[in-house]
Each structure stands twice: as C-alpha cells, then as structure tokens.
C-alpha cells in the first residue's frame, strides 16, 4: 500500500533519473538512418519539402518528428536523441496507463522506471528507429482503447489517431487497425464494462485514423509533393527496393532474444504466463499479443531481417516483465503457508536482482558517454568510421571552404556532416539506396537527367564518400560497381577539378578546386 507521500517520493526519484538518462542518451551517436532524417528535416526547413527536396521511400511520419525536433532544439548532433527521449517518455506514460487500466498498478510504476533505462541501452540502430517509435504509438492506442476508461468515446477516437501516427511511420503496422476492429467482434473479458457500443467503438477507431490520413493528404496537396511521394514510396519500393533479405532472420532472432535480451525475454515469458493464468484471454492481454503479432507481420513483410524491425518487441517485453514482478509480489502477500511465502519471496528477490543487474550491465555500455559528460563534453561519441574530432574537422572544412548557398554531395551514409555544417544537397537522390535504380525503372531517365542538370548547374563544393563505394585508391575514382549510375555520374564530376582534403580507411572528402 503506497503511503500519502509515496507519489511525491516517486516523482522526486523519477525526474532526476530521467534527466541523467537523457544526458547519457545524448552521447549515443545517431544511426545513419537518423542522421539522414535529420538532414532531410533541415532541407525541409530550408523550403525543400520531403520527397521533392530529398529522396526516401519511407512514409513521412518519422521525418516530421525529426523536423519537430530540429525546430525545437536546432541543428545539433544530439537533437534527435533528445527529441526521441522525450517521445519515449510519452510512450512510457502510455504503457503505464495501459498497465494501470489492465489492473497491474505496481507494474505500471515499475515500467515508468525500467523502460527508459532499457530503451537508451538498446543500441544506436535500435533506439530511435522507426519501428520502436511506431510501437510506442501503438501502446498509447492500447491504453486509449481500453473499455470503461473515463471519456471512452473520445479516447477511442484518439486511439485511431495514434494508430494513424504509427502507420505514417511504419505502413506495415496498418494490420493493427484491423485487429482493433476485429476484437470488437470477440467475446473477450473486459476489466471494466464499455460505455460505447461495439459498432460505435469501431466507427470511432476508423474516424480517428481517417481524420489523420485526410489531414496528411491535404498537407501533401498544399506542399505539392504527393507525386514525388508516390514515385518514391510506392513505385520505387515495389519495383526496386523489394528483394532478398540482406540478413538471415534466424540469426537476427537468436541475437536479439537469446543474446541481447535474454534475461528480459525470460522474465517477460513468465509475465505473459501469469497474465494468462490470472485473466485468460482478456481484452488488454489480447491487445499486447496483437501488438506483437503486428510487429512480427511487419518484420516478415519487410523481409530485410534487420534487428531494428523487431525493435517494438522490446517495449512489450519490458511491459510483460513488470507484470511478472507484480504477480510475484501479490503471491508473496497472499500466500499463507510460510514455506510457500519464503519460496515466492526468494523468486521475487531473484527476479528483482536479475532486472537490476541486467539493467546495470546494459547501462555500463554507456560508460564512455558518462566519461565524456564528466569531462564536460556534450554530444555523441565516436562511431561509423569517424571519431568526433574527425567529424568536427570535416565540418570545419565544409564551413570554411564553402558558402551557405553552395551544396554538398554525399555518397554513403555520413549525412550528419552536411547536416551539422548546415549545407544543402547538390541533388535529392543522395542515399545509396536510390542508386539501385536501373534503366528498367520507370523514372530512371527523369531522375538521372535531374542529377545531371544539378551537377552541371551547381557543382558541389564538397563531396563526401564512403570508401566502400570506391575500388582501389580514392585518387583513381573507380566505382566499386559499374551498375551504379549515380555513383558513376558523381565520379565523372570529381574528375573535373576536385582534390582530396580528408581521407581515412572509411571516408574520403573531396573539395572543388577554387
């Protein structure tokens, strides 16, 4: 039983802990995908909307979140990490509300403390990626969809809004909306009786979803980039980007569940078991299972085998883990026989110690970031082929060697360099993914013509290139593959008066001769 001062004490503990975790999280370097979206957001703020001013086949949800972070905090290496941390706190609150409404009050409090710590230690390619963020919106939808909650009619509409937000980030999560509607047809046990009829709930789910999608279409019409979105997100994705999985999904599953998340998975399975034993197939439990099914289906449909495509499972594992701990505590309080009580107490103590030790071990991976903070250095450390000192050197070269109206061409994944230097791209097709196009692609000629015109009209002041794109010495300007049309065209430009101003084993930077 919580004392009268209990909530105040929890808040007094939670706030400084979250501040500490946020500072640690800002030392985690953004993934190349996140740096790409940062640069795209900067480009959009300069008046070149997504798709029209920068290429990507993803839907715009995550891009808008990056843009919001940029408008809120400005151009910094840590902007997305801090923005993402604030989003994650909102999703943690959503998960806590969901557990509270599912009659797991202690689990809801534990989740508020546990999930942020587990989240920030999940790795630069997991935390802040699209799938785990989209799952956060789904868990908020679960909390809002719970029957019998205050203002249920309004909440159900907002649940549809949250699903729409998730779909705008990860379109393959659309199956969750169908699942919500389908659950209204099943005779599931509810924690509290619904105040809306089943048909009304379905209609409200759909209305919230459709409202958001209609607004997005209107924004696209106002910006005039719906055609570009269709060519990149639909035509390019379905005719070029679809292919064999670059990673073996079996290795991905073993790595995540048996290596990275082994103790979390073990305790989560126990939590799932005790939830089934207590409630059977209740509405909140089926929501959790349905969310997991949505993530699994999305992973299969994307067919890439990337671990971050399963990132949302981490949220569900943390959720179920806290349920297991609360149930052990309930058994400890209710068991009458001393032998059984001692047994349950030992099990509970072991589970708590495992959580504390496991979380501490994961936080230890951020010790370099902690050392940077103690040394007075704020921001991400070394990763992805460059030290932070090298990044700052290249950024200084770009700032000193070009004017704000001059452009930078990138071939590779070092998008954070022109982003932090506040320079625009020479052409919008700056991701290696775009260079998968062949002459069979319907827009090949138009896109290559656009690139040719951009390189001739406004040659880049700097070109940043991954060494992996080159065969042999950088000075030879030989592409690693003759099938990469954009790379070949860019190398032709480099042969017309550029010099190497920076090079290491992973990166080479060219500057136009003055």
pLDDT tens column, 457-474: 999 999 999 999 999 899
What per-residue confidence (pLDDT) applies to 5? Answer: 66
Q: Which helix (H) or strand (E) holds 411?
A: strand 407-411
Residue 313 has pLDDT above 70, yes or no: yes
> How far apart (Å, rounded) are the C-alpha atoms in residues 171 and 138?
13
Highest mean pLDDT among 133-142, 187-196, 295-304: 133-142
DSSP string covering 148-202:
T-TTHHHHHHHHHHHHHHHHHH-GGGGHHHHHHHHHTTS--B-SS--SS-HHHHH
Q: Which residues contact 110 (CB under 8 A, 6 or more apart)?
A: 322, 325, 326
> How far apart (Å, rounded) are the C-alpha atoms in residues 184 and 366?
44
What per-residue confidence (pLDDT) applies to 244? Answer: 62
Residue 162 has pLDDT above 90, yes or no: yes
Neighbour-count burial for 295-307, b at 16+ CB within 10 Å, e otherwise: bebbbeebebbbb
Residue 2 has pLDDT above 60, yes or no: no
Low-confidence winner among 12-16, 56-60, 148-152, 493-497 (lowest mean pLDDT) = 148-152
What per-residue confidence (pLDDT) applies to 134? Answer: 98
Compute the mean pLDDT over every residue in the chain, rounded to the nearest whole number. Answer: 94
> How far apart (Å, rounded) are the C-alpha atoms in residues 99 and 169?
24
DSSP string covering 417-483:
HHHHHT-EESSS--SGGGGG--TTSTTHHHHHHHHHHHHHHS--SEEEEEGGGBSS-GGG--BS-TT
pLDDT tens digits, 327-376: 999 999 988 888 888 999 999 999 999 999 999 999 999 999 999 999 98
Task: Record the tokens describing residue 43, joined without a space.
Answer: 């480009």
- Taken in order 115, 117, 118, 121, is the CA torsion positive or negative? positive
What per-residue confidence (pLDDT) applies to 338? Answer: 85
> How far apart (Å, rounded) are the C-alpha atoms in residues 431 and 448?
14
Residue 6 has pLDDT above 70, yes or no: no
Whole-prediction pTM: 0.94
Mean pLDDT, residues 193-209:
94
φ, ψ dihedrals at 102, nearest 5°: -90, 10
Mean pLDDT, residues 409-425:
97
What per-residue confidence (pLDDT) applies to 383? Answer: 77
* Percent of the chain's residues with pLDDT above 70: 98
Task: Record the tokens describing residue 501, joined without a space.
Answer: 């101003």
- Taken in order 16, 21, 25, 27, is the CA torsion positive or negative? positive
> How far apart (Å, rounded) are the C-alpha atoms in residues 339 and 328?
15
pLDDT tens digits, 64-113: 999 999 999 999 999 999 999 999 999 999 999 999 999 999 999 999 99
What per-residue confidence (pLDDT) applies to 4? Answer: 61
Residue 1 has pLDDT above 60, yes or no: no
Residue 3 has pLDDT above 70, yes or no: no
Task: Record the tokens describing residue 481, joined without a space.
Answer: 């593959």
* Percent of the chain's residues with pLDDT above 90: 85
Torsion of CA 157, 162, 168, 172, to 10 degrees: -100
Low-confidence winner among 144-148, 188-192, 270-274 (lowest mean pLDDT) = 188-192
């Amino acid at each position: 039983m919580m004392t009268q001062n209990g909530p105040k004490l929890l808040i007094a503990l939670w706030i400084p802990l979250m501040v500490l975790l946020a500072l640690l999280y800002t030392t985690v370097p953004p993934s190349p995908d996140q740096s790409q979206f940062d640069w795209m957001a900067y480009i959009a703020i300069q008046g070149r909307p997504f798709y029209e001013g920068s290429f990507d086949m993803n839907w715009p949800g995550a891009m808008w979140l990056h843009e919001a972070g940029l408008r809120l905090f400005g151009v910094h290496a840590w902007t997305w990490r801090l923005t993402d941390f604030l989003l994650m706190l909102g999703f943690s609150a959503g998960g806590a509300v969901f557990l509270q409404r599912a009659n797991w009050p202690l689990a809801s409090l534990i989740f508020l403390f546990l999930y942020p710590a587990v989240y920030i230690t999940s790795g630069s390619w997991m935390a802040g990626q699209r799938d785990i963020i989209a799952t956060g919106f789904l868990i908020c939808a679960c909390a809002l969809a719970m029957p019998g909650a205050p203002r249920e009619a309004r909440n159900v509409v907002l649940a549809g809004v949250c699903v729409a937000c998730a779909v705008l980030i990860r379109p393959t999560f659309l199956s969750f909306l169908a699942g919500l509607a389908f659950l209204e047809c099943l005779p599931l046990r509810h924690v509290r009786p619904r105040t809306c009829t089943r048909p009304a709930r379905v209609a409200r789910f759909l209305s919230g979803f459709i409202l958001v999608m209609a607004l997005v279409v209107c924004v696209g019409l106002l910006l005039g980039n719906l055609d570009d979105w269709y060519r990149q997100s639909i035509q390019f994705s379905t005719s070029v980007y679809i292919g064999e999985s670059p990673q073996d999904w079996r290795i991905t599953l073993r790595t995540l569940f048996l290596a990275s998340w082994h103790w979390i998975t073990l305790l989560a399975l126990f939590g799932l078991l005790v939830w089934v034993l207590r409630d059977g197939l209740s509405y909140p439990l089926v929501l959790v299972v349905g969310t997991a099914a949505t993530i699994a289906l999305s992973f299969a449909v994307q067919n890439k085998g990337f671990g971050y495509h399963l990132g949302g499972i981490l949220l569900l594992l943390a959720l179920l883990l806290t349920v297991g701990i609360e149930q052990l505590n309930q058994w400890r309080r209710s068991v009458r026989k001393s032998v059984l009580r001692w047994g349950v107490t030992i099990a509970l103590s072991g589970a708590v110690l495992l959580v504390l030790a496991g979380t501490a071990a994961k936080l230890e991976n951020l010790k370099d970031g902690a050392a940077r903070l103690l040394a007075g250095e704020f921001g991400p450390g070394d990763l992805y082929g460059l030290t932070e000192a090298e990044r700052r050197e290249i950024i200084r070269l770009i700032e000193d060697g070009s004017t704000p109206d001059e452009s930078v061409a990138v071939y590779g994944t070092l998008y954070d360099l022109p982003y932090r230097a506040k320079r625009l791209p020479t052409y919008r097709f700056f991701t290696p993914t775009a260079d998968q196009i062949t002459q069979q692609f319907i827009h090949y000629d138009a896109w290559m013509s656009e690139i040719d015109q951009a390189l001739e009209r406004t040659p880049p002041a700097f070109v940043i290139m991954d060494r992996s794109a080159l065969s042999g010495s950088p000075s030879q300007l030989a592409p690693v593959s003759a099938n990469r049309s954009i790379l070949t065209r860019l190398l032709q430009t480099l042969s017309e008066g550029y010099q190497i101003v920076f090079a290491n084993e992973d990166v080479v930077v060219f500057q136009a001769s003055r």
